[in-house]
């Protein structure tokens, strides 16, 4: 039975013409193992399938298995589309592109051009979404730095507000929705420096994100300026905003479209980004107060 299944699947193996294509497919399978599924059922199915495809390397470009992965992602993601993390939607698009690449027998230029286009469009639409939601208005990041648990230690370092007070007020925020009085509020202590710092960072991040998007849409195909801008954006953004899922997908797309000389820099950046999981702020706080 197993031998028959093995022989049947072998019919759908696609020979990849370059090591670059092989790297892209195996890197994508690795991310599917780490953060591909939504819900325990799809996670188990994807992890088993993708691990076996990596272990048995000639199956990493099996077009039937990639079609199955696409269907699984579409089905389970559609069940919770409106609450789905945006990086999983982006990754689903990417999996569909790789599946089409195999079934339509495209060359590596198909992967490169679509990866470049995806990065550019994602960045530009992210900027548009922020502008529509009044990201230009002061206060968005200021508020985040006062009650978002990811930034409280940074706020403490910038303002010297006791960390215990920040955590206490953060814990009070959810209670506002339960209070019957519309005028209920929590007063946060802050500083003009924090307000100016967060607003400057807010505008600078918006400008850089737009610049990255425009470079990927309009710069020459062999230009490395766009790659340098994306790597700088990922390092500068995600060590402050620790969103490892989205940063990993962006770097995968970067690897997929990058020329050979810049590809190792994307891989090194991907390795470095994994260290955002280290609680650096807590470590610094500990040594300051030991």
In angstroms, the Cα distances linking 154 to 151, 226, 284, 286 are 5, 30, 10, 13
- Indicate whether 73 and 118 sit together in one domain: no
- Indicate whether 268 and 155 sit together in one domain: yes
Residue 169 backbone class (left: φ over 0; alpha: ψ -120 to 50; beta: rest): alpha
pLDDT beneath 70: ranges in the chain = 172-187, 290
- Indicate whether 234 and 138 sit together in one domain: yes
230 touches 211 (CB < 8 A): no
Residue 243 lies inside a defined structural domain of this protein: yes
- Indicate whether 78 and 117 sit together in one domain: no
* Domain final residue, candidates 49, 82, 115: 82
- The reported pLDDT for the residue numbered 84 is 83
Residue 1 lies inside a defined structural domain of this protein: no
The pTM assigned to this predicted structure is: 0.87
CA-closest candidate to residue 266, choices 288, 234, 218, 220:
234
In angstroms, the Cα distances linking 185 to 17, 30, 191 are 62, 46, 19
CA-closest candidate to residue 28, choices 81, 123, 93, 106:
93
What is the distance in angstroms between the CA of the first residue and the CA of the last residue of the chain? Answer: 63
Q: From start to end of the chain, where are the E strands?
A: none
Residue 87 lies inside a defined structural domain of this protein: no
213 touches 229 (CB < 8 A): no
- Indicate whether 111 and 232 sit together in one domain: yes
- Indicate whether 21 and 165 sit together in one domain: no
Residue 96 lies inside a defined structural domain of this protein: no
User: Do you know the residue count of the chain?
Assistant: 290
Residue 5 lies inside a defined structural domain of this protein: no
- Indicate whether 74 and 156 sit together in one domain: no
Spacing of C-alpha 191 from chain mean position: 32
- Indicate whether 78 and 209 sit together in one domain: no
- Indicate whether 174 and 256 sit together in one domain: yes
- Indicate whether 75 and 177 sit together in one domain: no
Residue 101 lies inside a defined structural domain of this protein: no
**Parent domain of 276:** 107-290
- The reported pLDDT for the residue numbered 290 is 67
- Indicate whether 50 and 173 sit together in one domain: no
Number of domains in the chain: 2
Residue 242 backbone class (left: φ over 0; alpha: ψ -120 to 50; beta: rest): beta
Residue 276 lies inside a defined structural domain of this protein: yes
- Indicate whether 25 and 157 sit together in one domain: no
Residue 192 lies inside a defined structural domain of this protein: yes
């Amino acid at each position: 039975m197993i031998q028959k299944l093995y022989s049947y699947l072998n019919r759908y193996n696609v020979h990849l013409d370059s090591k670059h294509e092989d790297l892209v497919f195996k890197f994508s399978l690795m991310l599917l193992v780490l953060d591909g599924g939504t819900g325990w059922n799809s996670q188990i199915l994807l992890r088993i399938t993708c691990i076996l495809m990596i272990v048995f390397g000639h199956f990493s470009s099996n077009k039937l298995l990639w079609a199955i992965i696409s269907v699984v992602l579409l089905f389970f993601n559609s069940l919770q589309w409106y609450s789905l993390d945006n990086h999983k939607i982006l990754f689903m698009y990417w999996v569909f592109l790789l599946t089409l690449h195999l079934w339509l027998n495209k060359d590596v230029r198909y992967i490169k051009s679509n990866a470049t286009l995806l990065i550019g469009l994602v960045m530009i639409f992210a900027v548009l979404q922020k502008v529509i939601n009044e990201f230009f208005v002061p206060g968005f990041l200021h508020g985040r730095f006062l009650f978002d648990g990811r930034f409280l230690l940074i706020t403490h370092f910038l303002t010297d507000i006791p960390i215990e007070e920040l955590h206490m007020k953060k814990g009070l925020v959810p209670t506002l929705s339960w209070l019957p009085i519309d005028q209920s509020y929590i007063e946060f202590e802050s500083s003009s420096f924090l307000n100016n710092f967060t607003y400057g960072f807010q505008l600078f991040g918006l400008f850089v994100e737009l610049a990255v998007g425009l470079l990927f849409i309009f710069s020459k195909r062999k230009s490395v300026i766009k790659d340098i801008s994306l790597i700088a954006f990922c390092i500068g953004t995600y060590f402050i905003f620790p969103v490892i899922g989205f940063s990993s997908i962006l770097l995968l797309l970067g690897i997929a479209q990058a020329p050979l000389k810049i590809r190792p820099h994307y891989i090194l950046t991907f390795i470095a980004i994994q260290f955002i999981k280290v609680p650096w702020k807590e470590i610094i706080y500990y040594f300051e107060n030991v």
